[in-house]
A and B are shown apart, each in its own frame.
Chain A
Amino acid sequence: MDEARMIRRGLGPRLWLAGGWLLLALLAAIFAPLVAPQDPLAQDLMLERLPPFWMSGAEPGYWLGTDSLGRDLLSRLIFGGRIAFVVAFAAAFAACLVGSTLGLIAGYFGGWADRIISRIVDIWMAFPPVLFAILLVAVLGTGLSSVIIAIAVIDWTRFCRVIRAETMGQSRMDYVENARIAGYGRIGIMLREVLPNVVPSIVALLSLEMGIAVIVEAILSFVNLSISTDDPTWGGIIAEGRLSIHQAWWVLVFPLITLILTVLSFSQFGEALRARFDPVLR
């Protein structure tokens, strides 16, 4: 496949939609105090369970309706995005740093380093991830940093497994042997020659991991173990919506749509990047 066709395929409409949604959600989150129509924490029992704008009984200014305490749903979703994106970026980068480093070491050096790291990965894979995350947050105490640490501690293995396998493949290639004959040191070859060749996989995994982190944060706040209960989170709104599902379906539907769009966008992005960089597909 020639380069021009490749680029067209890589940047198809799905990628534009995914990127568009993520950009929109990210900008809304960053400028939340400016764009949110209401105070996300303001309760007003006169305004409880208002339906979204197209239904009868809706109030102007409360576009997506309100929850059982009269808080504006759209504003809560916009502010919830702040926590979602902070967790997505911080947790994914932390998991990536730990996992890719260990994967690179295990794959390049092999031997005992590989055996020990692979055994640790095996142990980690024997934990149910959601239970592990809940356990870690319970132990570390609820809060933003606990959630980020918990996700990184659990999901580094995703990076480690893939990067280890890729590094092993790269290490057998001629250019690595040539570099060795040319007299470069082992660590120098690993960082200067092997690492650039596994970066595309790292970038693709990073995007996928951000989507996973958003979900894990939602799950943790769903079981009430994420951030303090006052701050709006997507999972927290979903938990409220699950309780009042028969009285106010919109409290569950809108955060659910937000989460699904975000997760799909991150995975589409990851897949497009993988297709863009994968030498086999290219």
Chain B
Amino acid sequence: MLLQRFLIRLLTMAITLFGVAVVVFVVIRVAPGDPIAMMLPPGATDADIARLRALYGLDKTIVQQFFIWLSGVVRGDFGTSISLRQDVLGLVFNRLPATLELAIVALLMAVAIGGTAAILGARERGTAVEAGIDIASGTALSIPDFLWGLVLILLFGVLVPVFDISGRVSPQLDLPFVTQFYLFESVLRLRFDLTWDLLKHMLMPAVALALPLAAIIAQLLKQSLKEVLDLDYVVLARVKGFSETQVILREALKNAALPTLTLVGVQFTFLIGGTVIVERLFSYEGLGNMAIDAVINRDLPLIQGIVLVFALLFVLINLTVDMMYALLNPRLRHG
């Protein structure tokens, strides 16, 4: 049952990724403007242009180009970036860790803020505290990450300059890292001075990304908690003499968390999508920032590679959430 569900999901995942590859390939190829012409110095001859076109495979038909590219992708060869003249996969893997760290820090913050607000709101249900949480989460949800980023830049970059609003790490620092997972590695190496510097850079973009998701978690989890709190077994726990906070944390939370979990999965992909513009806003050297440069430079192989990696990330997250849901939901587990 579970295995069957998993295999079906794997198949639809492959179809989705193939679809993404087709769409991005077609969209890029209908682009007016010749990427080769941008690479060559003025005065290049037609023969030079033809030679380069052949080198990048641009002299073949769209269908031929697609299958040449796809067969490369399957073997792990995403081609060579036109603007940076490096292997696309290498470039992507160089930047992906920065984006993943930012997204995960933002997710953890969203869960912490949203979860706390939900538990507090459920405990204080029907009071001014709950009303305040409703208004705060409604506002946080209505304002997108791009605008939150700008608000944070003004507040904590200009008005009270306590956090860095540009880059991933202070440029003067000597970095001993061998991987691109700077934050993770700084903790492993016990270099907490570097951890602090990285966090100071990461905090503002992460909060901008986290706020809308925190609001969704606060609203949905609070709703589920309030429903569960009226059920018999929770009333029983209360009769046994547990405090309201204990009742929520020990009894209600694990049964109320399931709908939130599913939603967080979908919303996490939106959060990752948001890194594209938030990284740009904070000059954070991640995948999204590189993607915007790639589009502006019409770097076709790089755009294709980045979009496909984002799509892969999205479908993997959805698959993980779906499997977790199936494992945690007793009705599906024993079904």
Give the chain B neighbours of A141 by CB distance below 8 A: 32
* Closest residue of B by beta carbon distance from A245: B158
- Give every chain A residue within 8 A of B147 (Cβ-Cβ): 215, 256, 259-260, 263
* Alpha-carbon separation in the docked complex, A212 to B141 (Å): 12
Asked whether, in the complex, the Cβ of A123 is within 8 Å of the Cβ of B19, the reply is yes
Q: A120-B19, A125-B314 are in contact. Are A263 and B142 (CB under 8 A)?
A: yes
- B291: interface (CB < 8 Å): yes
- Shortest B90–chain A CB gap in Å is 20
- Chain B residues whose C-beta falls within 8 Å of the C-beta of A134 in the assembled complex: 276, 291-292, 295
Residues of B within 8 Å of A281, CB to CB, are: none
B334 to chain A, nearest CB (A): 28
Name the one of A135, A136, A242, A267 contacting B142, with C-beta atoms under 8 angstroms.
A267
> Interface residue count for A (Cβ, 8 Å)?
40
Per CB-CB distance, the 6 closest pairs between chain A and chain B, nearest first, are A123-B19, A128-B273, A126-B311, A267-B142, A139-B31, A130-B276
Using Cβ atoms and an 8 Å threshold, which residues of chain A touch B23?
Answer: 123, 127
Contact partners of B146 in chain A: CB under 8 A: 215, 218-219, 222
A224 to B, closest residue via Cβ: B296
Known interface pairs A127-B310, A215-B147, A223-B280; A139-B273 also in contact (CB < 8 Å): no
- B298 contacts the other chain (Cβ, under 8 Å)? yes
Q: Which residue of B lies closest to A218 (CB)?
A: B146
The answer for the CA separation of A219 and B296 in the assembled complex, in Å, is 14
A5 beta carbon closer than 8 Å to chain B: no
* Chain A residues within 8 Å of B276, by CB: 128, 130-131, 134
User: In the complex, which residues of chain B have a beta carbon less than 8 angstroms from the beta carbon of A253?
Assistant: 154
> How far, in Å, is B115 (CB) from chain A's closest CB?
24
A256 touches B32 (CB 8 A): no
Complex CA gap A127/B303 in Å reads 12
> Is the Cβ of A245 less than 8 Å from the Cβ of B157?
yes
B143: A residues at CB distance < 8 A? 260, 263-264
Give 13 pairs: A residue, B residue, CB < 8 Å, sorted on A: A126-B16, A128-B273, A131-B306, A135-B27, A139-B31, A223-B277, A225-B295, A245-B154, A245-B157, A264-B139, A264-B142, A264-B143, A268-B142
B245 CB, min distance to chain A CBs, angstroms: 31
Q: A138-B295, A139-B27 are in contact. Are A238 and B307 (CB under 8 A)?
A: no
Alpha-carbon distance between A271 and B59 when the two chains are bound, in angstroms: 52
| Interface flag for B20 (CB, 8 Å) | yes
Residue among A122, A141, A253 with max Cβ neighbours from chain B (10 Å): A122
A242 touches B311 (CB 8 A): no
B92: interface (CB < 8 Å) = no
Complex Cα gap A39–B303 (Å): 40
Contact residues of A with B, CB < 8 Å? 119-120, 122-123, 125-132, 134-136, 138-139, 141, 211-212, 215, 218-219, 222-223, 225, 238, 242, 245-246, 249, 252-253, 256, 259-260, 263-264, 267-268
Please state if B20 and A139 are interface contacts (CB–CB under 8 Å).
Answer: no
Chain A residues with Cβ below 8 Å from B314 are: 125-126, 128
Asked if B58 is at the interface (CB within 8 A of a chain A CB), the reply is: no
Contact mask for chain B residues 279-292; partner A; CB cutoff 8 A; 1 contact, 0 none:
01100000010011
Hey, which chain B residues are within 8 Å of A225, CB to CB?
295-296
- Which of chain B's residues have a CB closer than 8 A to the CB of A120? 19
Q: A130-B274, A131-B291, A215-B147 are in contact. List 20 more A-B contacts (CB 8 A).
A: A119-B15, A119-B19, A122-B16, A123-B16, A125-B269, A126-B310, A126-B311, A126-B315, A127-B310, A127-B311, A128-B288, A128-B307, A131-B288, A135-B303, A222-B280, A238-B150, A242-B150, A259-B147, A263-B143, A264-B142
Contact residue among A127, A135, A267, A268 (Cβ-Cβ distance under 8 Å from B20): A127
A255's closest neighbor in chain B, by CB? B150
Chain A: minimal CB distance from B133 (Å) = 17
Contact between chains at A245 and B153 (CB < 8 Å) = yes
Q: Which residues of B contact A129 (CB under 8 A)?
A: 273
Contact B158 A249 (CB under 8 A): yes
How far, in angstroms, from A252 to B281 measured CA to CA in the complex? 13
Q: Does B129 contact A (CB under 8 A)?
A: no
Across the interface, do A135 and B158 meet the contact criterion of CB distance under 8 Å?
A: no
Q: How far is the CA of A263 from the CA of B140 in the complex (A)?
A: 12
